[in-house]
Amino acid sequence: MKRTHNRTLYVSSAAAVVLLVGGPVAAAAASTADAARTAPAVSSALQRAGVDAGGAASAALQKYPGTVESLDKDGSIWHVNVIGKNGGYAEVIVDGATGSATVGNTEQNNDNGDEYTTLLAAKYNAQQAMKAALVAHPGTVWSVSWDDNDNGNGNSRYWDVEIKNDGRTTNVHVDPTSGKVTTSNSDSNDNYGNNGDNGDNGDENN
């Protein structure tokens, strides 16, 4: 009986060693599993955040170096028009979720250099104009475009920036030389972000 008792003690001791060693290993394995479950969730959250106007401009310029003339959001993609350094022109499509850029329509027009002289010489480019606009009117930039038409108001060249915030669309003009921001007359409530509002509070839709 005594011999059997000793054998039981040996077995119990061995089992205790296994449990002591296995505890940290099991804990580490559980921690790794938790990290694996959390990583996809974080990644998905980042993807849902999407690519903003500034990110779309950067992605487009990496794909087709030059100067942004305009950009606008269309569903889940951005259309970015770029004047190339060689005088060419390209429409770059940027995926709003991944930021991947693809060159679409292109033109090799040497006249673009003359046509866009004022744009290329502007002190404030599209990206800087967007930043200035957001300082004055916080929200989300939906589009930006260069406008050099003479409307008889003495300010024939400016950046037109469309900003959306809490169901309201605001269009502002940014002076390409001073960066001064002025609000245009197109402010209105629309059906963007109004929980299904049909636009009765305004006359401008997306």
> Whole-angstrom Cα distance, residue 116 to residue 14?
82
For 50-112, give the CATH class.
Answer: alpha beta
Exposed e or buried b per residue across 82-95, where buried means at least 16 C-beta atoms within 10 angstroms of its C-beta? bbbeebbbbbbbbb
Extents of the domains making up the chain: 1-49, 50-112, 122-206
What are the backbone angles phi and psi of residue 74, rounded to the nearest 5°?
Answer: -130, 95
For 122-206, give the CATH class.
Answer: alpha beta
Strand partners, 107: 89
CATH topology match: 50-112 vs 122-206: yes
- What string of pLDDT tens digits covers the 206 residues of the chain? 444 444 443 434 444 444 444 555 444 444 444 544 443 433 333 344 589 999 999 999 999 999 999 999 999 999 999 999 877 899 999 999 999 999 998 887 655 456 788 899 999 999 999 999 999 999 999 999 999 875 555 557 999 999 999 889 999 999 999 999 999 855 555 554 443 333 333 343 33
Give residue 188's pLDDT.
Answer: 59
> Whole-angstrom Cα distance, residue 34 to residue 109?
56
